[in-house]
């Protein structure tokens, strides 16, 4: 336990990092690790890795969940809540106020050009994000097959993706993956 000052410090630190996390929270994960593991010793390296893996595999906004799990470790439920709010509160304010002018000028010629230029980059990053996730998740040929089947099904079949996740989870429970 690191007391109340630790909880406040963690919350403020996360709030600051949240508005610096251009391109998504994973871009500031190394900094968060330094802060909670190396600088303050609130979590061990193993615990940090576990928290990350759990956040990757449980439903919900995973980075918010990861921060609230870290908060839980540092100061129980109140810190879990304040850490979650710190990581999404400031960015959501920015999203909202940036979206309004972006939407108002959606028919302006400059924005049409910007959109046409940005869309392929965005798509490339989604494909890259999926590939990075796959590299971490696919530890053998069975799990690589699961990844490929999931990609093919979502691409060609109109099915609720949830069924794909449930089937894959069941295969994992039966130790087929």
Partner 1 sequence: MVRAAEESRVQRASLLVLFLGFLKVALCSVGGGSGIVFARRLAVEQRRWIGDPEFADILSLCQFLPGPNVVGIAVCVGARLRGPAGALASLAGFTVIPVAISLFLGTWILRYPDLAILQGILGGVSAAAAGLLIGTGLRLLIPHRDQPMALCFALLAFVGLVFTKLPLLAILLAVAPVSVTVAAISGTRKR
Token duo for residue 169: 């989870």
The rounded distance, in Å, linking the Cα atoms of 33 and 9 is: 15
With 0-12 / 13-18 / 19 or more C-beta atoms within 10 angstroms meaning exposed / middle / buried, residue 124 is exposed
For the bound state, the minimum distance from the C-beta of residue 144 to partner 1, rounded and expressed in Å, comes to 8
Nearer to partner 1, 36 or 55 (CB): 55
Nearer to partner 1, 9 or 168 (CB): 168
Token duo for residue 133: 């996730």
For the bound state, the minimum distance from the C-beta of residue 101 to partner 1, rounded and expressed in Å, comes to 10
For the bound state, the minimum distance from the C-beta of residue 6 to partner 1, rounded and expressed in Å, comes to 18
For the bound state, the minimum distance from the C-beta of residue 165 to partner 1, rounded and expressed in Å, comes to 5
Phi-psi domain of 23 (left: phi exceeds 0; alpha: psi -120 through 50; beta: other): left
Q: Tell me the three state secondary structure of residue 24.
A: coil
């Amino acid at each position: 336990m690191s007391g109340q000052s630790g909880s406040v410090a963690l919350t403020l630190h996360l709030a600051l990092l949240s508005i610096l996390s251009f391109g998504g929270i994973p871009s500031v994960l190394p900094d968060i690790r330094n802060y909670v593991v190396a600088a303050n010793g609130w979590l061990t390296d193993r615990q940090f890795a576990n928290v990350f893996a759990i956040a990757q595999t449980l439903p919900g906004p995973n980075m918010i969940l990861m921060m609230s799990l870290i908060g839980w470790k540092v100061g129980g439920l109140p810190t879990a809540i304040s850490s979650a709010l710190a990581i999404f509160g400031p960015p959501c304010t920015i999203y909202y106020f940036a979206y309004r002018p972006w939407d108002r000028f959606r028919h302006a010629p400059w924005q049409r050009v910007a959109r046409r230029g940005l869309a392929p980059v965005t798509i490339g990053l989604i494909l890259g994000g999926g590939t990075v996730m796959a590299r971490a998740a696919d530890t053998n040929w069975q799990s690589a097959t699961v990844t490929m089947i999931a990609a093919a099904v979502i691409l060609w079949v109109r099915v609720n993706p949830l069924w794909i996740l449930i089937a894959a989870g069941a295969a994992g429970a039966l130790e087929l993956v």
